[in-house]
Structure 1
């Protein structure tokens, strides 16, 4: 369950009549406990309570107390030996009137009326495996509001089917935006009476909801009617108390969907929330999920934490503004210059969604401006930062509406905070018709039209605040010489999952520049557009992206184009989880990359460092792999650059399955059909090696074919292969019909030792899986192999150094490491090794292999499970890492960034030395 679903379940529980016997189980069910778990607790099989309550090990101890004895019951829960034995994190007591709870680990407490405990649902989210509890508490209102709006939205669509069609959905979304504004306005003083909208609907609409839509429609009509025109508008007296809002928010059709009794009750309950708590930083993205059919299924997974967004905005420009503020101190002239600079800054998000980045940037800049005003002795001064300098492009119309609405709300909240309620209200209404969010396809648009780089005067010619045309609406603004910062979190979409329209978007940007654009992630389009924008005006751009654009072959395709425009990487944040509010905090692995056409001499590289947050490294340059060092591209090499073994593919059967055997088939061939044992060999691919799957294959040398076909069972198998190959449309496969006993591609004799390397393996493992196979083992084409190689080669592959190299230069397939011999192994830089180095590494490899044998029959998957890796195996790998890393730098590396920095430096040197040698050999015909 996600946070929104939990809030809904908890709210439903609080609304029901209190059932003392059932409450503990209903409470746990609301936090995602399965019925089998509830059944075991109810039966007593897993209930460890010593107080007659319900105690779930490692989670919570719940007691229902007699009336008025909640505090006494909570104290008993805290003192209970069973609570301590079961390591319960929470204790909770209630009598159906009051509720008290405590987080025994964090020390946080809850004390409230029973019916109000849903307001504190965020305190218990650890019960559901959600670890972003602090962020949930900070946004608990947004989650509750989203949950209730979602229920209303679904109920309205149930009763107004036409409003759910493609033609009417914009009307439905527009209606929801109007409601959100009304709820906010009635609680923040924008309307002249608290709860004016909710109370009016409750008072003037019938309880059977028959005229609810008419009442709301009249309210909307009033807010679209100027005061001077109201006498002729024939408004009902009760609607005339609403102010004129304008701004296009209530213009157009006042039609409202019909309400059922349930929908009316939902509306009134939403109005009962305290909308002064709305957080426009994230509220928009959650509301966006309410009105999107695809996204509603993941409701609650659209939380974008402020700290994560600041990882983009701080190094992009906010850190510099704060540094200039610190430098200015109380100097009036320097403070005034900084304030003028703030007023001319444009922040542009060309994939703005519901405006999270723009809202946070606006609020942060208003905070800096307020500090300037206070230091200059001008507190409460009207802001000079226009919200119209916070530009965006958004494909979906409702998201664009919400982005504008979120900025309007943010502006009002900042005015209240820094200028006071009276001043904020005096200038808020009526809204103007300025439009600063463009609705359209960012990859098909000219970004200069959406965010002009100069103070070009443009004016809005009609149009509504919340109905942007496809072309950028025109606005008057003066910020000649101002700075432009581009930011955002564009859609990712790997090349294999892009729609035809998305492929067309990338084609419009990259065709003619590179032949390999079809392999690029969708987000690459935003980086290239930003670089193109930067060739026409000074700007700095930074996007959140899947880390795949800085790995593998996308580096060569994308980054050479970006660097060719004169851009460099100004700052970057290496891989981290962009988390959300889903259970278990699932998230995609991302990077942040900032590019500029005016780089400074120092660049900043951020990386995660556990509980302490991010660390930063100052570098002279950051390359496209997000490693300090020169701009290099690791290109595939047909042979190793270092003095290491040659890695090749395994053998491809191309046999229709007739040369491959299960273990059962192999045993039958030996015992029932008299097949010579030398013709049946162990057969290993990636999955067979990692998961310990036993397979066999037929392996017959040319000189043994005559003897082999004398066996009827083998002869039938060979005939089946011949028939399958003969029927192929491929000429090369047809030719193989003449050797039906042989694999289609043979790369080993079968009598050599082999180091096997899986082509794909899980990113969760701390080391790449690699194995040593004795003579007789046949390697599948679904794995790589080094034939008859010295054992110290295995030590290289099993090292942390090699894993970080592969993860960086080869990239990933979905979330798995994707190995490449030409791109990963052949390019792997290894110093010149002495005989002692090789001997030491061979011993390390032997130790790893011997310890694996000790744990037989555990598979590679078992042994390298990060949660269950045996201590002695981990120690063997640590020794291997230490021996190898001392060869590189005389000590252990401090972190992966340092590892990569050294590897890229060494690769550059080796490649430079090897290049002339290969050229001389080629010229000599060698």
Structure 2
């Protein structure tokens, strides 16, 4: 049972065999479907699970036609005979999209004439040189990364407008699901648990944590169209995800058995069985068609926090701390210095190893972490720097480096989720923070696999960020993380002027002030303010 994307070494080997098999083919009608079935197989994907052949579709001008290959939410493809105009074929594919629902709009357009591939990224920024690429069939083994999204490898430009827009859309989809939950009678805590589990499953479907679109297949084939058994089936699935494969009960649905063991940190708590309607099922399927692998966990987490508030849902996406602003804080605090040390030791294996060890010794605390965006971005940037170190060590050491990286996994990844700590006043944002750290950890592991060919096993989950629910003004921070020279404290606590504080907040300030009365001292507390109140935010200092 395949539960993660194929390694790039395996994909390239598959691609070489594919090229050998298809070199010299030229006739569209005779071999088109076999060609695409085997191309999906290069990336470890069963075509029948994700894509349809010859889908009837309406063109923009009202005429009818057939889409050669359609993967809802991911790609549309047109296959032509040898020598046909691929730009014209691309235009043909685009005419079908005018009548495709928003949830099923694909990101990629692929055209091919058996000799040449042409790929267009519809979400690429204007002027992006990678918006359109072409390469010959024989180059597929070395150009295989362009189609990495088929296997679940995502092309990410962190902080980009496209990633931010995807994160806003993802949060809107989760808000739609929460509205349905509100009407089901679920209490707030159980709704939170359900949303987080659903988010994990949606992300896993698109990012290679398990078989591609396995969760979607489960919803479509194991639940009734009226939604009457959706809650019960999801509850059963979540229980299976919390049980090791060798301890699952006899008679468990064979489709459920294809899911890997995740661990109790996400699926362990027992909650009531929700009751849903066809509307909830339709919205969940629409969410499955969205590409969750392309979101920013930092931005999405901020927005996800707001889905429970009717007022905040109306303004979803209008206010959040951008990654650019987060980087402005963590850069001078520690990141700029570490990057400078990397540059200074670019030709020194000893210096790079020393820097790598230093990364593993550092610890981080956000005492007002909210949904964890500062921890998430800091973790992502440090994993990226660590990967630069590993790639450079590999370059300096030659082929021997690959073997040592494979054998010494614990030594390879020194920046760990467990090194990142937070304090948050409320349970919901704290839960989001832990979950978002899982997501960004997986993205970092995918990048590692892409660059050096190996990465840690993601499942079952064995560690997480340490997020304590409590008031940072009352807790001893040493209970969360012992003070040391290796600790960095960061964050963006809410700011309230002295004249706008509540009586409770004034008491908290006075309790901390050594003279008993804080006077007009302003308040920096330990919980995130709601979306829609950006003027009340302050910087950590």
For the aligned pair, the TM-score class normalised by the smaller chain equals 0.5 to 0.7
In 2, Cα distance between equivalents of 1:157 and 1:518: 43
- The equivalent of 1:320 in structure 2 is 337
Structure 1 residues 415 and 434: CA distance shift in structure 2, 3 A: closer
Partner of 2:192: 173
Structure 1 Cα separation of the partners of residues 215 and 363 of structure 2 = 36
Measure the CA separation in 1 of the matches of 2:537 and 2:422: 22
Separation (CA, whole Å) in 2 of partners of 1:413 and 1:121: 19
Contact residue 231 and residue 274 of structure 2 kept, 8 A: yes
Mapped contact 1:345–1:483 kept (Cα < 8 A): yes
Question: Structure 1 pair 172/423, CA: closer, same or farther in 2 (3 Å)?
Answer: farther
Q: Find out whether 1:384 has 2:414 as its counterpart.
A: yes
Residue in 1 that maps onto 2:164: 139
C-alpha change, 1:423 and 1:375, in structure 2 (3 Å) is: closer
Q: Output the CA distance in 2 between the equivalents of 1:504 and 1:294.
A: 29
Aligned partner (choices 515, 529, 535) of residue 513 of structure 1: 515
Q: 1:229 aligns with which of 240, 247, 254?
A: 247
Question: 1:175 touches 1:256 (CA, 8 Å); kept in 2?
Answer: no
| Shift in Å, 1:291 | 2.6
Are the equivalent residues in 1 in contact too, given 2:437–2:464 (CA < 8 A)? no
CA gap 1:67/1:198 in 2 versus in 1, 3 angstroms: closer
Alpha-carbon distance in structure 2 between the residues aligned to 1:417 and 1:248: 24
Deviations along 1:408-430, whole A, 9 cap, x unmatched? Answer: 11111111101349977861111
Give the counterpart of 1:157 among 159, 162, 182. Answer: 182
Alignment of 1:72-87 (within 5 A): none
How far residue 195 of structure 1 moved from its aligned partner, in angstroms, is: 1.0
Alignment partner of 1:376: what SS? helix
Contact 2:492 2:538 in 1 (8 A): no
1:89-117 per-position Cα deviation (integer Å, ceiling 9, x unaligned): xxxxxxxx9989xxxxxxxxxx9545366
Residue equivalent to 1:449 = 479
CA distance in 2, matches of 1:135, 1:420: 20
Matches within 5 A, 1:250-649: 250-292=267-309, 295-377=312-394, 378=401, 382-420=412-450, 427-432=457-462, 434=464, 436-453=466-483, 483-510=486-513, 512-513=514-515, 515=517, 517-523=518-524, 588=535, 592=539, 594=541
Q: Gaps spanning 5+ residues in structure 2: where? A: 1-59, 64-91, 106-121, 127-158, 395-400, 407-411
- Cα distance change, pair 246–443 in 1 and its aligned pair in 2 (3 A): same
Aligned to 1:200: 218
Given candidates 229, 233, 245, the residue that maps to 1:211 is: 229
Q: Secondary structure at the match of 2:495?
A: coil
Matches within 5 A, 1:641-660: none
Residue by residue over 1:197-218, the C-alpha shift from the partner in whole angstroms, topping out at 9 and shown as x without a partner, is: 1221121111111111111111
| SS of equivalent to 1:243 | coil
Shift of 1:444: 1.0
Contact 2:125–2:162, Cα closer than 8 Å, also in 1: yes
> What aligned pairs does 1:913-924 form with structure 2 within 5 A after superposition?
none
Q: How has the CA–CA distance of structure 1 residues 509 and 122 changed in structure 2, closer, same or farther, with 3 Å as cutoff?
A: farther
Tell me how far 1:581 sits from its aligned partner. Answer: 10
The verdict on how the C-alpha distance between 1:256 and 1:291 changes in structure 2, with shifts beyond 3 A counting, is farther
Q: Is the 8 A contact 2:494 2:536 kept in 1?
A: no
TM-score w.r.t. the length of structure 2 is: 0.66
The structure with the largest alpha-carbon Rg is: 1
Distance in 1, matches of 2:102 and 2:248, equals 44
Contact persistence 2:418–2:463 (CA under 8 A) = no
User: Aligned pair in 2 of structure 1 residues 279, 238: CA closer, same or farther (>3 Å)?
Assistant: same
Q: Report which of the two has the higher share of helix.
A: 2
Distance 2:536 2:469 in 1: 28
Contact 1:247 1:432 in 2 (8 A): no
Aligned to 1:832: none
Quick check: 1:205–1:212 contact (8 Å CA) kept in 2?
yes
RMSD: 3.4
Separation in 1, partners of 2:347, 2:175: 49
Kindly tell me: are residues 208 and 422 of structure 1, through their superposed partners in 2, closer, same or farther at Cα, counting changes over 3 Å? farther
2:181–2:191 CA contact under 8 A, matched in 1: no
The CA distance in 2 between the partners of 1:354 and 1:419, in whole Å, is: 27
> After superposition, what is the alpha-carbon deviation per residue over 1:128-172, rounded to whole angstroms, capped at 9, x for unaligned?
xxxxxx954331211111111101111221132xx2xxxx31111
Deviation track 1:384-414 (CA, whole Å, cap 9, x = no partner) reads 1111111111111111111111111111111
Structure 2 counterpart of 1:244? 261
- Contact 2:492–2:539 under 8 Å retained in 1: no
The alpha-carbon deviation at position 371 of structure 1 amounts to 1.4
Distance 1:581 1:399 in 2: 13
Alignment partners' CA distance in 1, 2:271 and 2:258 = 17
Q: Which has the higher contact order (CA 8 A, sep 6+)?
A: 2
Kindly indicate whether the alpha-carbon contact (under 8 Å) linking 2:495 and 2:538 is maintained by their aligned counterparts in 1.
Answer: no
Indicate the SS of the match to 2:218. Answer: helix
* Pairs aligned (count): 393
Aligned-pair distance for 1:376? 1.5
Q: Deviations over 1:710-749 (max 9, x none)?
A: xxxxxxxxxxxxxxxxxxxxxxxxxxxxxxxxxxxxxxxx
Separation (CA, whole Å) in 2 of partners of 1:242 and 1:155? 26
CA distance in 2, matches of 1:117, 1:201: 20
2:139 maps to none
Contact 2:494–2:538, Cα closer than 8 Å, also in 1: no
